[in-house]
Amino acid sequence: MRTYDMTPLYRSTIGFDRLFNDLFDSVNKLEGSGYPPYNIEAQDEDNYLITLAVAGFGEDDLEIELSEQTLSITGRKAEKEGDSARQFLHQGIAGRSFERRFQLAEHVRVTGAALENGLLQIALAREVPEALKPRKIAISSTNAIGKVVDSAGKFLKKSNDAA
């Protein structure tokens, strides 16, 4: 396993140390898990689609759960009568239980899920609150006598002026 020196990133970023730790923890956890295969698609700037190949699983065998910012997809096949008596000469379709987790960014929510032709599709949307979106700030100017003038030319009272 590789170790990475994150010092250069920590010097130029503030408050992202948890992000970097989570990123490398996720990479380490995913190294051994390849089932079920999945795609993550960016449909546009704020919409995403996760597609998992879950051949052999029905809607009753799958569970999708969102807890805090972790999306968990769990698949468990119920043992059916006669399954133990089946003898496979080759079994290439994996039907084993699985759990796949995705760490979602802030303000990303699940908008829906559908199972069709062995593919589980989960739609996600990023909805940033209006208060957190970038906005322009008007620059005030100070006139010759020290009173602050707003962008409309109105005088504003300075905090140290007498009332």
Q: What is the pLDDT along the chain (163 residues), one digit of tens a residue?
A: 566 666 676 666 666 666 766 776 666 555 456 889 999 999 998 999 999 999 989 999 999 999 989 999 999 987 776 667 788 888 887 778 999 999 999 889 999 999 999 999 999 999 888 887 788 888 877 655 556 666 566 666 655 545 4
Question: Where do the domains of the chain lie?
Answer: 1-32, 35-78+92-131
The values of phi and psi at residue 7, to 5°, are -55, -45
Q: Does domain 35-78+92-131 have CATH number 3.90.550.10?
A: no
Coil, helix or strand at residue 106: coil
Task: Quickly tell me which residue has 């999708």 as its tokens.
Answer: 64
Coil, helix or strand at residue 18: helix
In the chain, the N- to C-terminal Cα span, in Å, equals 68
List, in sequence order, every residue forming a beta bridge with 63; answer none if it has no partner: 74
Q: What is the pTM of this model?
A: 0.62
H or E segment and range at residue 54: none
Going by C-alpha positions, the residue among 89, 98, 93 that lies closest to residue 35 is 98
* CA separation for the pair 25, 159 (Å, rounded): 50
